[in-house]
Structure 1
Amino acid sequence: MDFKDLSYILAIEEHGNISKAAEALFLTQPSLSRFLQNTESYVGQPLFNRIGNRYVPTYIGERYIAKAKEILNLKKELDQEVGDILKHDSGLLNVGFPAMRGTYMLPCTLPIFHSLYPKVKIQIHESSSSHLNEMILNGSIDLAFYNQPDANQNIETEIISHEEMVLVMSPDNPLCEFAYPMEGCRYPHLDLKHLVEHDQGVIMQNPNQRTRTIVDRLFRQQHITPNIILETSNIRAEAELASRNYGVCFITETHLKHMKLEKPLRYFSVGEPSTPINFVAAYRKNSYLPYHATEYIKIVRDFT
């Protein structure tokens, strides 16, 4: 059993189908089928249940796959560390961003990184914060940048910057008149109870997005059930709709700073008295962080 064999098992698990796995591995289907039969014979138990054309891991298969991922992650870290020791001028870095962050951060940070390390290739993975967490833990990416998640004992975070999540709406929205200055708030404070009292429609991000998690928690803490009129992962669309007085929404300051909208928006602090958020760099705890990852973190920190 070698590293290549482990990667074959993971490919079958990922694709759930021998034909698709063989295609991804540039093998013939009979070759991969024979490999699996020999491996299961060696183990003494089937690693997958065959359900039609689908290959679903058995319990032993799940344990085998989990350990295979650990072993391959350790090999990846070893390769990275050895590469860093030998030279700093080449390599591969896998970085994750939520799509909106990537829109304005990548054009400002990647050219700087490339000018310093022209032989280092960066692969960008855009996804929700929750999926980026999974990718960090399974070793698919080296680090990610997003709003700080709930504590995870297996993920290390470094604070890049502090910002505030704000409630935004059109200046024509009558709720604006209920806002007032409050100590500790960067913007006029608006009590969320007014959203319910005036049956205000709220545009929300999808449940797997970090801002949505924070907003849901905020409503629960204040025992409020919002009138959700739309759910979308498109943050810019949220802002455009709110600027046209189609509901209100919650967006972090940095996103708003990089948006050029046709119509103006009003910003309001919400919470007790506001809702601060840390923007962080995240990576797997107790694992080797490549040299170029630490360098890219520095560039992102300088940008923000």
Structure 2
Amino acid sequence: MDLKEQRYVCTLAECGNLTRAADRLYISQPALSIYISNLEKHLGMPLFCRQGKRFILTKAGERYVHYARGILAISSRFDSEMSMLLSDEAGRLRMGISMLQGAWFLPRVLKDFHERWPKVELVLRQGNMTVLKELLQKHELDLVVVNEENLDRTMEARELFQEEFLVAVPQGHPLNSRAVFSQGQPYGVLQPEALSGQVFLATTPDQSTRALQDRIFQEQGIRPRQLIVIRSIELILQLVAEGVGICMVREAYTRTFRYSKAVNLYQLDIPGHRRRVMAAYHARERVPQYMEGMVELLQKRGAEIMSGRL
């Protein structure tokens, strides 16, 4: 079913901003603006009230969106069922993953997936955990790679791998002398209070690594001397290697980190320092064979990365 009209209006209503809506729809901003204006002329009434860059639904727009969402939901279920009826060798898999994870996790997985299921259309969406979770709940995605803490009762999930949430410290930094090492353990251990007063490099507030870091800071009473915010974890680790400050980082990222200078990695002496990365999908819905295959490929790749077999 081609429901472009309904998708365009509902997306603009959700975003409230022409630029964000155009980005989500993968069309240009002028094209979306012209489409909405022409639709309003055809209907003979405005669907949106323009206030600067904000698009706010009129009363007519609210009723339109109410029914359009119902139509889109029916269309999504129809498309899914038709795809399933064809065969598990053909269909569509809409998958979501964060920008950071996608770069090191997916290349080999997608190559193997396309070789095994060449007739399956794979639609990949990258974004932060909050956005991906919302898209799964709206049935705009079939499978997302998320952290265990992002799961809710609408989802079923399979574990892909487990990882530590580590502290990265420059070589030669005084903090290295405070680490305690135990035989047979891969990382030295730092007490959380040792992190107070340090210069921290941190990801942005909308990234999952930052959310976990902030929770640990609050629970453990950690107060950094300075917080430098950078979106790229790759750049953060490079700056740590250069001695600018320290950071908290997911273990999987450190497995693929390559730079001329190394960083030292430590575990914090706190409960819950280990986390599970999951493949989540809709609860109580049939999982096609090719989606099972994707989960297995993700599990295999996760095990390779965590064991150092890059």
Q: TM-score, normalised by structure 1?
A: 0.82
Say if 2:87 is the partner of 1:80: no
Q: How many angstroms does 1:215 deviate by?
A: 1.0
Counterpart CA distance in 2 for 1:28 and 1:191 is 57
Q: Residue 133 of structure 1 aligns with which residue?
A: 133
Counterpart amino acid of residue 187 in structure 1:
Y
Looking at structure 1, the residues matched to 97 and 205 of structure 2 have their Cα atoms a distance apart, in angstroms, of: 17
Task: Tell me whether 81-90 or 187-196 shows the greater mean CA deviation.
Answer: 81-90
| 1:138-153 map, 5 Å | 138-153=138-153
Residue 201 (structure 2) aligns with? 203
Distance 1:12 1:107, change over 3 A: closer
* Structure 1 residues 1-304: aligned runs within 5 Å: 6-7=6-7, 9-10=9-10, 13=13, 23-24=31-32, 29-30=37-38, 32-37=39-44, 47-51=47-51, 55-58=55-58, 61-62=61-62, 65=65, 68-181=68-181, 186-196=186-196, 199-273=197-271, 275-286=273-284, 289-304=287-302
Shift of residue 224 of structure 1? Answer: 2.1
Distance 2:53 2:250 in 1: 45
Segment of structure 1 superposing worse, 225-234 or 278-287: 278-287
Amino acid at match of 1:246: V
**What SS class does the counterpart of residue 224 from structure 1 fall into?**
coil
For residues 60 and 182 of structure 1, the distance between their equivalents in structure 2, rounded to whole angstroms, comes to 67
Amino acid at match of 2:218: R
CA deviation profile, 1:73-107 (whole Å, cap 9, x unmatched): 34223322222222233333222121221111121
Q: Write the deviation string for residues 215-253 of structure 1: whole angstroms up to 9, x where unpaired.
A: 111111112222343111211111111111111111111
**Distance verdict in 2 for CA 1:275–1:80, change over 3 Å:** same
When residues 101 and 150 of structure 1 are mapped into structure 2, their CA distance, relative to the original with a 3 A threshold, is closer
Give the partner amino acid of 1:129. Answer: M
Moved more, 98-107 or 131-140: 131-140
1:43 maps to which residue? none
Q: Work out the CA distance in 2 between the residues paired with 1:140 and 1:260.
A: 35
Residue 66 of structure 1 deviates from its aligned partner by 5.3
Residue 169 to residue 287, structure 1, CA distance change in 2 (3 Å) = same
Conservation of the 8 A alpha-carbon contact between 1:184 and 1:274: no
- Structure 2 CA distance for partners of 1:86 and 1:97, relative to 1, 3 Å: same
Equivalent pairs counted in the alignment come to: 292
Unaligned ranges ≥5, structure 2: 23-27, 303-310
Secondary structure, counterpart of 2:190 in structure 1:
coil
For 1:56 and 1:139, the matched residues in 2 are separated by 24
Tell me the CA shift for residue 298 of structure 1: 1.7
State the Cα distance separating 1:190 from its structure 2 match: 0.3
Q: CA RMSD in A?
A: 3.2
Q: Check conservation: 1:11, 1:21, Cα contact below 8 A.
A: no
Q: Deviations over 1:7-50 (max 9, x none)?
A: 35325535766x978934996944x124433xx7xxxxx75435
Shift of residue 295 of structure 1?
2.3
Runs of 5+ unmatched residues, structure 1 = 41-45
Give the whole-Å Cα distance in 1 for the aligned partners of 2:34 and 2:289.
32
Contact 2:129 2:150 (8 Å CA) reproduced: no
In structure 2, the CA distance between the partners of 1:216 and 1:4, relative to structure 1 (3 Å rule), is closer
How far the C-alpha of 1:260 sits from its partner, in A, is 1.5
Deviation of 1:126 after TM superposition, in Å, equals 1.8
Q: Deviations over 1:169-204 (max 9, x none)?
A: 1221111111113699642110121122xx310111
Question: What TM-score, normalized by structure 2, do the two folds share?
Answer: 0.80
